[in-house]
């Protein structure tokens, strides 16, 4: 099984994580991309704009390195979130201005797919509001149309954050409402669904909910929501990890693929933190730890590759600690 490595955190976000170990962003990307056997479990890599134009120590551009391994290069094209005035702290993603020109530039540099993240949240005050849903899903649809017009496959990511005390039932109702709106808007924008991927959250209890759903319950709720909203024309779903621990992200994906239900799509992963946390911990920015760090990364990549097939037995080395960051922005 294979999935996508999300290595698209902004310079600021990743810089904060690297500050304690005094490391440059380029070094971590080179560490991940040169891991032996990466192509067995990773079929695509999403990069931040800066990374797309970087090279290995020997001078080979990252997209060229990955292409040689049969891995497709993707690019994060949004410009982050800004507040949505008049709402209870909701946001909308910016970056539509100049997007067509940027897509042309990214295609020329070797990118073949793109990603845009809309961020929605659940709250007792009624979030996500209709305004937040329409604005975020509308911009995702507009972005998808612009990408396709410029040769890039758009990954559509309407992420509902797991912050809050809500139950899995509430998460399911909200996710279903958001995805239904998203696909109506993609139709309205004349987006070719066969040429898109969906990157959704799994349906799960809020991080602070006193009763946490099991991975099997997460799988059942997630698949049911997709059955109710996702057209069969969409070829694949690559779930985000959304702050789940490395092990939980793998086990939940495995449960989804094990589930005996109608699932006419490829159900895989597009993980960032859940593929890199134990790798960074093992590495600490020290050259002598490179092999250990790459081994840690490959252990998680293999676990998720198996989860994509529903054959992960659990227990791969890695963190079982939550990677949740409140109001996660990158």
- 157 noted as active-site residue: yes
Beta strands in the chain (DSSP E): 3-7, 42-47, 72-76, 81-83, 91-93, 113-120, 153-160, 197-198, 236-239, 266-271
- Return the SS3 of 4: strand
Cα–Cα distance list, 28 to 20, 22, 34, 228 (Å): 14, 11, 10, 39
Which among 276, 270, 281, 264 is positioned nearest to 226, based on CA atoms? 264
Indicate if the alpha-carbon torsion angle 188, 190, 191, 193 is positive or negative. Answer: positive
Say how far residue 155 (Cα) sits from the centre of its chain.
Answer: 9
Which among 10, 47, 16 is positioned nearest to 30, based on CA atoms? 47
Which among 104, 76, 106, 108 is positioned nearest to 11, based on CA atoms? 76
Which is catalytic among the residues 9, 90, 157, 306?
Answer: 157
Alpha-carbon span 272 to 117, nearest angstrom: 13
DSSP 45-60: EEE-HHHHT-B-TTS-
Asked whether 96 and 71 are in contact (CB, 8 A), the reply is no
Asked whether 296 and 282 are in contact (CB, 8 A), the reply is yes
Which is catalytic among the residues 90, 199, 246, 306?
Answer: 199
Neighbours of 320 (CB within 10 A): 9
Alpha-carbon span 265 to 177, nearest angstrom: 20
- 40 noted as active-site residue: no
- The residues annotated with a catalytic role in the active site are 157, 199
């Amino acid at each position: 099984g294979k999935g996508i490595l999300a290595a698209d955190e902004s310079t600021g976000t990743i810089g904060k994580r690297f500050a304690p170990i005094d490391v440059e962003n380029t070094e971590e990307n080179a560490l991940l991309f040169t891991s032996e056997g990466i192509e067995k479990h990773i079929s695509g890599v999403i990069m931040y704009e800066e990374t797309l134009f970087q090279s290995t120590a020997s001078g080979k551009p990252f997209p060229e390195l990955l292409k040689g391994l049969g891995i497709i290069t993707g690019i994060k094209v949004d410009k982050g979130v800004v507040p949505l005035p008049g709402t209870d702290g909701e946001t909308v993603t910016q970056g539509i201005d100049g997007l067509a020109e940027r897509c042309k530039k990214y295609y020329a540099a070797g990118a073949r797919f793109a990603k845009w993240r809309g961020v929605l949240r659940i709250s007792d005050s009624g979030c996500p509001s209709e305004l937040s849903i329409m604005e975020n899903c509308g911009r995702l649809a507009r972005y998808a149309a612009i990408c396709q017009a410029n040769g890039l496959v758009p990954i559509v990511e309407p992420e509902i954050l797991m912050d809050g005390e809500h139950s899995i039932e509430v998460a399911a109702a909200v996710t279903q409402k958001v995805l239904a709106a998203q696909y109506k808007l993609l139709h309205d924008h004349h987006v070719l669904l066969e040429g898109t991927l969906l990157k959704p959250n799994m349906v799960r209890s809020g991080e602070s909910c006193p009763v946490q759903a099991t991975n099997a319950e997460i799988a059942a709720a997630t698949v049911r929501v997709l059955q109710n909203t996702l057209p069969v024309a969409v070829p694949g779903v690559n779930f985000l990890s959304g702050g789940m621990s490395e092990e939980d992200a793998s086990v939940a994906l495995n449960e989804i693929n094990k589930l005996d239900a109608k699932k006419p799509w490829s159900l895989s992963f597009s993980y960032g933190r859940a593929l890199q946390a134990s790798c960074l911990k093992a590495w600490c920015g020290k050259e002598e730890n490179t092999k250990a760090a790459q081994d840690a990364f490959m252990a998680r990549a293999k676990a998720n590759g198996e989860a994509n097939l529903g054959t992960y037995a659990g227990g791969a080395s890695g963190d079982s600690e939550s990677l949740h960051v409140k109001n996660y922005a990158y």
